[in-house]
Copies of this chain bind each other. A is one copy, B any other.
């Protein structure tokens, strides 16, 4: 196991707000960051040592990027395969390809989780109208049809309340491969932000309870409503996923809480929106935890000293910024995006609501 020394360069694929907050954490540990991002003026660019703005099929740019860094990580999972094929020949890629392959495809992900013995929603693959008819027969309704790839924040999804909704739902997939998932009768959603180090050690933060609005995460509340045994189950199943993938880095694991136990919704092989509360509740936040992992440093232990409510500021929400800034015990985190478009994550706040027990 080799630790990166201060002064080493960490390459990050993606320059959005997650890359921005990872950059700050890396700087805090004495590292420099090189961002690779196709879009111009990425939010991470304001706080990174270097930025390469180039598309993912620019072999020369990818090669120069990789050769300038000591390790490569990423802030999102939908990186083109050919780019990864090239990058991983040049520098260590953490988390590894398997974690990416699994999380890039909902079907592969479900199969992986089920094989690990974890509970998932009933599901069936759908390419054609006939598949969908068969899937509805197996999975039942209500159900939700999702593209297997590239969906996020509620995009690429269609609800099927009865068989009559099938044609419209299939049309909404635009010809993409899909998976039908049965509705879960859950009381609430929680997520576990867990990390695994290069030495195989695992640390998890206390699970947070998530509320979505219009398909986008609205708030995460710490602590989540969980029984002690549910809390233990949540952390243990996250650790099981990390170990099975020989994972290095932070992962977000979304869980449905049901009367019969926890059901895994999905995993994200990266820092996660529902882990932003750790910035104001823990000595080592999820961003630093991820950098520690990919740099081969010891992990923080994940303990928290505060109860926190994280709230996303979406689009026009930033008009409320003056009120948030005037609130006691509230930390504001803006992403430096110029345009407050509808549905766009502009920032978040962490309200410290109490001291941890």
Which residues of A does B touch, CB under 8 Å? 3, 6-7, 20, 23-24, 27-33, 45-49, 280, 283-284, 292, 297-298, 301, 303, 305-306, 318, 321-322, 325-326, 328-336, 338, 347, 350, 352, 355-356
Contacts and interface: CB of A to CB of B under 8 A. Distances in A.
30 contacts: A6-B318, A6-B321, A7-B338, A24-B24, A24-B28, A27-B46, A27-B334, A27-B336, A28-B333, A30-B336, A30-B347, A32-B46, A32-B336, A33-B46, A45-B49, A46-B48, A47-B47, A280-B283, A283-B350, A283-B352, A292-B325, A297-B325, A298-B322, A301-B329, A303-B328, A303-B329, A305-B329, A305-B352, A305-B355, A355-B356
Copies held by the complex: 2
Contacts of A355: 305, 355-356
A325 B48 CA distance: 23
Q: Does more than half of chain A's interface fall in helix, strand or loop, or is it mixed? A: mixed
Contacts of A7: 336, 338
Nearest to A338: B7
Contacts of A284: 331
Interface centre among A325, A328, A335 (most CB of B within 10 A): A325
A318 to B, nearest CB: 7
Nearest to A340: B6
- Most-contacted residue by chain B among A284, A335, A336 (CB, 10 A): A336
A346 B31 CA distance: 13
B303 A28 contact: no
